[in-house]
């Protein structure tokens, strides 16, 4: 593809760019963090690839990221000597938003009306450049390629792409800034101001593991023999290259030396989220297995969380050196929302994912991490209930899926479950709290299923239970019943659907006695038989019940077999 081409962005990309450009989002400065984190990712990639193929480095292994503000052209240039991109990769990664997330993002956007808290979740970091630039030029060359690629766009729906010369491997991004982002009288918004840039790097990218450098120009007049400045002599310019970030990985510091803000920035840098995480777990372990870990529970589940391809996993480091991203086999699947990193001298640098899976060290680390995440969740539940409920809203489904798909974890997870119940209009209850409120003589935990609370409340069977003051859990989520079925019992109390079999109210003082029911059945035998005959093939049995108050009839499932609502769910899935 030697000639210059003008191409159109995908419709979705176009919409997204529009959003970026016109969003009222005020925190535009984070574009720098996004571009630096991309540069750092690209260097991670080549560094890792070069472990098995030294030639990729082309003799250039002084990894660095360089910022170059230029007042003359009103441009800010960010360059790296990372992996670069081939022509096809530019089209793939920059020209289109290949990720299916874009559409979902735009839909969510329309719902919530605010881009700022969503942008990061969808991995559209590069496009944030258009928040400050009227034109973005990207020049890149991948190792081994003779030619580079030049990509340019004004964010107006089209971009151009062509081959070009580029000596050094890596990527250079030139931002032609909007006037308001390079005005001298507005230093905080002036992204050509070296001190502004320096403080932004400190703020957002301090522990990026490669030096982020910038030239500072010093003007100096010569001095005389006594060291006094010669005022009328012409000034000489010297250029000093400064490294703006400290590069020390945050997790090597002591916990009490790290601020919340620093953790948050680490999280945002590593996992491309724009929102602070809900919870942070930082621990250092020494002994038979040795590692440091920082784990985060993101404030929101990513939009595609419940799909199989969703990105998840843990970053692995070995003595501060990046080994691998998105490693999924460390934590059980039901904790896949946890992001974070583990740094251990036991991980070797060029180990493959397959080998890692069989590493017993890593399995031990994984077990420990699982324990500490669960411990953290237990603490949240008992000490910060409202925060836990926020967590539950986002990830409750994942925990429930752990209960029914991972039988080893059932016992560990049962106390983390929350359900709505007839005890309160809006508060959720744990199973332990339910049990503590059980009526005297009550032997089972009652639950009702329905598509929503109202549907459950209106079940005819609810009347009697309500009158007796017996609490009923409402299972309103499709997966709830799977979880309850998998548990079977909690602290020796079996779960009992109120629309299934005998309600087992015997011990709890029910006025109608068994004999009375039997007598009624005898007296009405012909009626029961007539109904049974009429509905034959569709029902198994017709019975006189003592579970109804004002409703004349209700449908119940037998003691065994799947429940009514489960049947409905399955029927729906079949469609
Ligand atoms: P993300 O970083 O979450 O993948 P971005 O929008 O920030 O999303 O970047 C999109 C993609 O463009 C990256 O995944 C990467 O493949 C490519 N890319 C961006 N910047 C660079 C760079 N400096 N060097 C190499 N590839 C890059
Ligand atoms: Mg990025």
> Can you read off the two tokens belonging to residue 94?
């920059």
312 alpha carbon – ligand 2 mean position (Å): 15
Whether residue 165 has pLDDT greater than 80: yes
Position 513 confidence tier, pLDDT thresholds 50, 70, 90: low
301 alpha carbon – ligand 2 mean position (Å): 18
Whether residue 194 has pLDDT greater than 90: yes
Element (H, E) at 16: helix 11-22
Half-sphere exposure of 17 (CA within 13 A, CB side): 26
83 alpha carbon – ligand 1 mean position (Å): 10
Q: Quickly count: other Cβ atoms within 10 Å of residue 107's Cβ.
A: 11
42 alpha carbon – ligand 1 mean position (Å): 8
Angle between helices 480-487 and 385-405 (to 10 degrees): 70
- Contact by Cβ (8 Å): 495, 487: yes
Within 8 A by CB and 6+ apart from 431, the residues are 414, 415, 417, 419, 445, 490, 491
User: Which residue's CA lies nearest to atom 27 of ligand 1?
Assistant: 38
Whether residue 461 has pLDDT greater than 70: yes
Question: In 341-429, which ranges are continuous DSSP H helix?
Answer: 353-357, 360-383, 385-405, 410-413
Binning the chain into helix, strand and coil, the percentages to the nearest 5 are 40, 20, 40
Residue-averaged pLDDT of the chain: 85
What are the angstrom distances between the C-alpha of 559 and each of 489, 496, 501, 556? 15, 10, 5, 9
- Contact by Cβ (8 Å): 376, 279: yes
User: Which residue's CA lies nearest to atom 1 of ligand 1?
Assistant: 123
Residue 114: predicted pLDDT = 58
Position 140 confidence tier, pLDDT thresholds 50, 70, 90: very high
124 alpha carbon – ligand 1 mean position (Å): 9
Q: State the DSSP code for 502.
A: -
User: Which residue's CA lies nearest to atom 3 of ligand 1?
Assistant: 123
88 alpha carbon – ligand 2 mean position (Å): 18
Whether residue 122 has pLDDT greater than 60: no
Rg (alpha carbons) of the chain, rounded to whole number: 32
Question: Which of 20, 126, 302, 310 has the most ligand 1 atoms within 8 A of CB, as the residue to mutate?
Answer: 126
Whether residue 531 has pLDDT greater than 80: yes
Position 204 confidence tier, pLDDT thresholds 50, 70, 90: confident
pLDDT 10s digits, 252-311: 899 999 999 999 988 987 887 778 999 999 999 998 889 999 999 999 887 777 776 677
Residue 138: predicted pLDDT = 98
Sheet holding 493-497, edge to edge: 472-475, 444-449, 493-497, 489-490
User: Which residue's CA lies nearest to atom 10 of ligand 1?
Assistant: 93
Residue 351: predicted pLDDT = 60
User: Which residue's CA lies nearest to atom 17 of ligand 1?
Assistant: 93
Whether residue 205 has pLDDT greater than 80: yes
Residue 110: predicted pLDDT = 66
- Contact by Cβ (8 Å): 236, 222: yes
Ligand at minimal distance from the CA of 129 is 1
């Amino acid at each position: 593809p030697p000639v210059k081409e003008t191409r159109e962005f995908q419709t979705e990309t176009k919409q997204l760019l529009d959003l970026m450009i016109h969003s009222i989002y005020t925190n535009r400065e984070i574009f720098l963090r996004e571009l630096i984190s991309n540069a750092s990712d690209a260097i991670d990639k080549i560094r890792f690839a070069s472990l098995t193929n030294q030639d990729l480095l082309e003799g250039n292994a002084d990894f660095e990221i360089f910022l170059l503000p230029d007042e003359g052209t009103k441009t800010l240039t960010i360059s790296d000597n990372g992996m670069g991109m081939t022509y096809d990769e530019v089209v793939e990664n920059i020209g289109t938003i290949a990720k299916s997330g874009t559409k979902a993002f735009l839909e969510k956007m329309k719902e919530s009306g605010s881009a700022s808290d969503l942008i990061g979740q969808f991995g559209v970091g590069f496009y944030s450049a258009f928040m400050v630039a009227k034109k973005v030029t990207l020049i890149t060359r991948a190792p081994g390629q003779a030619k580079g690629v030049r990509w340019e766009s004004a964010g107006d729906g089209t971009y151009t792409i062509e081959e070009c010369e580029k000596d050094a491997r890596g990527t250079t991004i030139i931002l032609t800034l909007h006037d308001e982002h390079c005005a001298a009288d507005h230093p905080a918004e002036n992204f050509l101001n070296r001190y502004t840039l320096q403080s932004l790097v400190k703020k957002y990218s301090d522990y990026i593991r490669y030096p982020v450098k910038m030239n500072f120009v010093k003007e100096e007049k010569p001095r005389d023999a006594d060291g006094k400045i010669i005022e009328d002599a012409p000034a000489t310019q010297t250029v000093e290259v400064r490294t703006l970030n400290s590069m020390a990985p945050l997790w090597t510091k002591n916990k009490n030396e790290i601020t919340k803000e620093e953790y948050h920035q680490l999280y945002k840098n590593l996992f491309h989220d724009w929102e602070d995480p809900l919870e942070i777990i930082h621990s250092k372990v020494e002994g038979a297995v040795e590692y440091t870990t920082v784990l985060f529970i993101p404030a929101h589940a990513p939009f595609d969380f419940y799909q199989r391809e969703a990105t998840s996993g843990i970053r692995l480091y070995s003595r501060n050196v990046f080994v691998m991203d998105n490693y999924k086999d460390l934590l059980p699947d039901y904790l896949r929302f946890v992001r974070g990193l583990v740094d251990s001298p036991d991980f070797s640098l060029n180990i493959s994912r397959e080998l890692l899976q069989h590493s017993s060290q890593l399995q031990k680390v994984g077990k420990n991490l699982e324990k500490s995440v669960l411990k953290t969740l237990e603490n949240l539940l008992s000490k910060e209930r409202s925060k836990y409920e926020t967590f539950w809203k986002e990830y409750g489904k994942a925990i429930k899926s752990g209960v029914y798909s991972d039988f080893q974890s059932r016992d560990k997870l049962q106390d983390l479950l929350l359900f709505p119940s007839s005890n309160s209009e809006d508060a959720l209850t744990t199973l332990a709290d339910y049990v503590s409120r059980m009526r005297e003589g009550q032997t089972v935990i009652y639950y009702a299923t329905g598509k929503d609370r109202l549907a459950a409340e209106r079940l005819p069977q609810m009347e009697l239970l309500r009158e007796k003051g017996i609490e009923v859990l409402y299972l309103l989520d499709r997966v709830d019943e799977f979880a309850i079925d998998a548990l079977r019992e909690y602290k020796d109390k079996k779960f009992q659907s109120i629309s299934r079999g005998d309600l087992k109210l015997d011990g709890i003082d029910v006025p109608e006695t068994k004999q009375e029911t039997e007598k009624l059945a005898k007296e009405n035998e012909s009626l029961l038989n007539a109904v049974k005959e009429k509905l034959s093939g569709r029902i198994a049995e017709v019975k006189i019940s003592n579970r109804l108050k004002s409703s004349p009839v209700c449908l119940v499932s037998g003691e065994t077999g799947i429940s009514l609502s489960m049947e409905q769910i399955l029927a729906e899935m079949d469609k």
